Structure 1
Amino acid sequence: MMPENAQPDPTDEKVKRLGISLEDYLLPTHGRIQMISESGELLPVDEQGSTPGHEYPMPTTQELLDGYRQLVIGRRVNDQNYALVRQGRMAVYPSSHGQEASEVAAALCLEPRDWLFPTYRDTVAVIARGVDPMEVMTNFRGNWHQGYNPHENNTSVQSTPLTTQLLHAVGMAHAARLRGEEMVVLGMVGDGGTSEGDFHEALNFASVFKLPVIFFVQNNKYAISVPLSRQTAAPSLAHKAVGYGMAGELVDGNDLAALLAVLGRAVKLCREGRGPFLVEADTYRMQSHTNADDATRYREGEEVDEWTKRDPLTRMRTYLKHEGALTEELESEYTSDAETVAASLRDAMGQDAELNPLDLFDHVYTVQTPQLAEQRAQLAEELSRDAHTEHQG
């Protein structure tokens, strides 16, 4: 039997307008939610102001402008970091070039009290959430445990192990409920992560306990070199939601307007106690998995070229300019903001890191164990002896 508050609310637009059953409520809308075409044109809307086939209203112009500004910054951060890796000033960087709309929407749909649980590729989402870009990138130099304090912006550390962050997200939501705190938690994951056992466990637990969690799948078509066709036989990853008794939706992951609308509605319904939800963003990884990967070994250039035409940045720019909302002054302001961030990254990554080997022991436990204290003291003595010997020499 379905949990009571997982039943469709009779006031829900999807139920009220289409007269659908519980099964249809859980299944994704037929096709892919899209509001702005690849060429930057607003798709036709009905008398309710919604694109036919779904119930989502268009975000406001200001919301789209705010999102576009973050797209510009995110693209510049991605490209700057890729250059820093080639220059040897960063160890590794998993670029989200081409996926920035999904990243930005994930951050902007949440309130400050909510929590974001990102993956290693979600740097743009973390920055859009308000975390200092320099603190974010410290992690990719390999010279610190994690560059930022998760509690300052309610943004968890970027997770490299696939899908462990989803279990953490569910745990956070469950703990908040036990404490009587109201929050929505959004956990990000890639298409490859949906093949992990942690994905199943997180969705199952969240659905059974009716937790306010949004599982946001960025389907960028490859789990390193493994294509989506070798990951699943489902019609879409969004269809996986129905098996857990939660609603799923498939959205154009390069359409910022559609992403803000779909994720915004999911957040609203989660606050009302009608979550969890699974949202799949149909997008593409334009660059290699990381700088250690050669994407030409497993995909054709023609495929990349086709997705280049769907670039979320140029799509939103075209739409906003056509609407008269994006002026030359605003465009210049956003570009300047992005260049300021890029320049700061270059300066910060160009400086030698001040490393203290004893830091390895200082942030493992809140209260240090006797074994770690003993090892720390041993290393401190060796470092002191070496420094004394070097000074004497």
Structure 2
Amino acid sequence: MMEHDITDGGPDMVQFVDGDGNRLETTEANAPYAKIVEDMTSEDARSMYRDLVLVRRVDAEGFALQRQGELGLWPSLLGQEAAQVGAGRAMRPQDYAFPGYREHGVAWCRGVPPENLLGIFRGVNHGGWDSNANNFHLYTIVIGNQMLHATGYAMGVQRDGKVGTGDPDRDTAVMAFTGDGGTAQGDYNEALVFASVSNAPLVFFVQNNQWAISEPNYKQFRIPPYLRARGFGFPGVRVDGNDVLAVYAVTKAALDAARAGQGPTLIEAFTYRMGAHTTSDDPTKYRPAAELDIWKEKDPIKRMRGFMETKGHADASFFEQIDAEADELAARIRKACQEMPDPDLRTMFDHTYAEEHPVIEAEKAEFSAYLDSFEEAGR
């Protein structure tokens, strides 16, 4: 009797490249998106491969910095690079992304300098970047909260007349990112209700990495996320989250529909979290090693490289050049992290309220006096 393949997302899953990099035939599931992939060039393939490698290196450096005491915490995206790069590259400049706290790959695609991601985990700033500079909201630690933020923003975009105008530089879509664990939160489900009834220009992007910290899928839901979208009144699509071409094509189609005024779509990227939930977690306590070994065969970078070599999109020198660039990026990130100045401790009271607040001002004055007492003592 043949064992169930845990990497198989079923016949509904949109996929264009298998685990070895072979281009798959057109199927009923991938046919609606085939032209998008066929229109992609060799340069597109090289650009996406570069993104995958550099994003993984950013993540690896973040993990190493935490282990060496430079960061307080790091949530790894190892294994989810294709899901994030494919989605991020499908967005237009005017689109707006609302991440959770693991979307380092989306941040990269939106132009957020990777050094900025480290500030919040080093504890030296209030978030690390200007959300409006790259249309990439700050990380949201409260699970699922960003889904409501995104829905409200998308409803605002709609009311501002930036949907369905036919102007590609004006029409705007919003993307909200969460993991499979986030789908169990009330905020997530409330967001889907509001997005549906308002026909908001929004794409919900669920990275189903199979584990919500230590809880497997069967303890989170009985019906997979993409099928649950129908109950809210809009389409749901499952895509191979380790196939960057498939993710890009599905996300592009969903964003195009949102900008045109066709309402929300839910995308479930079927992928796997190859690392720990965060650096404070030990997945060996609840996850069998054999499961990880099976998913490694579907590694998104290995898959994309195999596809490019088969199709002649790049030669050995290209891959060597990207590896060298990754080394340079890692060194730059490390240096920037270690040189981040410690903030004035008094800034912890800043921006607590929009306007001055007498209680906060009194607490700040008391704390300032406490700090000054050390200086007076010759510390």
TM over 0.5, shorter chain: yes
Pairwise CA distance, 1:30: 4.8
CA contact (8 A) 2:179 2:209 kept: yes
1:117-196 equivalences under 5 Å are 117-181=98-162, 182-196=171-185
**In 2, distance between residues paired with 1:333 and 1:113?**
31
Shift of 1:29: 9.9
1:204-251 superposed Cα distances (whole Å, 9 cap, x missing partner): 1000000000000000000000000111111x2100100011000000
Tell me how far 1:147 sits from its aligned partner: 0.9
Instruction: Provide the residue aligned with 1:229 in structure 2.
Output: 218
Query: Residue in 1 aligned with 2:6?
Result: none
Letter in 1 for 2:54: I
Say yes or no: does 1:372 pair with 2:360. Answer: yes
> Residue 289 of structure 2 aligns with which residue?
301
Q: Which amino acid aligns with 1:199?
A: Y
- Count of residue pairs brought into register by the alignment: 359
Runs of 4 or more, structure 1, over 4 Å off, are 50-53
| 1:137-174 deviation digits (Å, cap 9, x = unpaired) | 11111222101111110101111111000000001111
1:246/1:66 CA distance change after superposition, 3 Å? same
Task: Name the CA distance, whole Å, in 1 between partners of 2:300 and 2:274.
Answer: 12
**Matched AA of 1:115:** Y
Task: Show the 5 A alignment for 1:284-299.
Answer: 284-299=272-287
Among 216, 229, 238, which residue is 2:226 paired with?
A: 238
Partner of 1:55: 32
State which of 263, 270, 274 in structure 2 corresponds to 1:275. 263
Secondary structure at 1:56 match in 2? helix
Question: What TM-score results when the alignment is normalised by the length of structure 1?
Answer: 0.87
**After superposition, what is the alpha-carbon deviation per residue over 1:28-55, rounded to whole angstroms, capped at 9, x for unaligned?**
995210000111000123xxxx776531
Residue 209 of structure 1 corresponds to 198
Give the equivalent residue in structure 1 for 2:4.
none
- Equivalent residue of 2:23, what SS? coil
Equivalent residue for 2:59, pick from 78, 90, 93: 78
Q: Quote the Cα distance in structure 2 between the aligned partners of 1:380 and 1:281.
A: 49
- Give the equivalent residue in structure 1 for 2:12: 31
Kept in 1: contact 2:45–2:313 (CA 8 A): no
Percent identity (aligned):
36
1:333: how far off?
Answer: 3.0
**1:374 Cα deviation from its structure 2 partner:** 2.4
Contact 1:30–1:53 (CA under 8 A) maintained in structure 2 = no
CA contact (8 A) 1:29 1:53 kept: no
The aligned counterpart of 2:21 is 40
Give the 3-state SS of the residue equivalent to 2:246 in structure 1: helix
CA distances 1:279-313 after superposition (whole Å, capped 9, x unpaired): 00000000111111111111111110000000000
Mean alpha-carbon deviation: is it higher for 249-258 or for 380-389?
380-389
SS in 1 for 2:131: coil
Matched residue type, 1:40: G
Counterpart AA for 1:326 = A
Question: In structure 2, what is the equivalent of residue 262 of structure 1?
Answer: 250
In 2, Cα distance between equivalents of 1:381 and 1:180: 51
Correspondence 1:96 to 2:84:
no
The answer to whether 1:349 aligns with 2:337 is: yes
Counterpart code for 2:40? T
One-letter amino acid of the structure 2 residue matched with residue 387 of structure 1: E
CA deviation map 1:343-365 (0-9, x unaligned): 11211222363221111122323
1:198 aligns with 2:178: no
Q: Which amino acid aligns with 2:33?
A: Y
Report if the CA contact (8 A) 1:127-1:136 is conserved: no
Q: Is the 8 A contact 1:362 1:368 kept in 2?
A: no
Secondary structure (helix, strand or coil) at the match of 1:218 reads strand
Counterparts in 2 of 1:52 and 1:276: CA distance versus 1, 3 Å: closer
Question: 1:218 matched to which residue of 2?
Answer: 207
- Which runs of no fewer than 5 residues in structure 2 stay unpaired? 1-8, 163-170
Indicate conservation of the 8 Å contact 2:346/2:368, yes or no.
Answer: yes
Structure 2: which amino acid aligns with 1:56?
Answer: Y
Quote the offset at 1:373 in angstroms: 2.2
Pairing 1:328-343 to 2, within 5 Å after superposition: 328-343=316-331
Structure 1, unpaired ranges of 5+? 1-27
AA partner of residue 207 (structure 2): Q
Report what 1:322 is aligned to. 310
Change in CA separation of 1:170 and 1:252 when aligned onto 2, cut-off 3 Å = same
**Whole-Å Cα distance in 2 between the matches of residues 370 and 336 of structure 1?**
54
CA RMSD of aligned residues (A): 1.8
Amino acid at match of 1:189: T
8 Å Cα contact 1:29-1:54 kept in structure 2: no
Shift of 1:190: 0.5
Give the SS at the match of 2:319.
helix
- The residue that corresponds to 1:64 in the other structure is 45
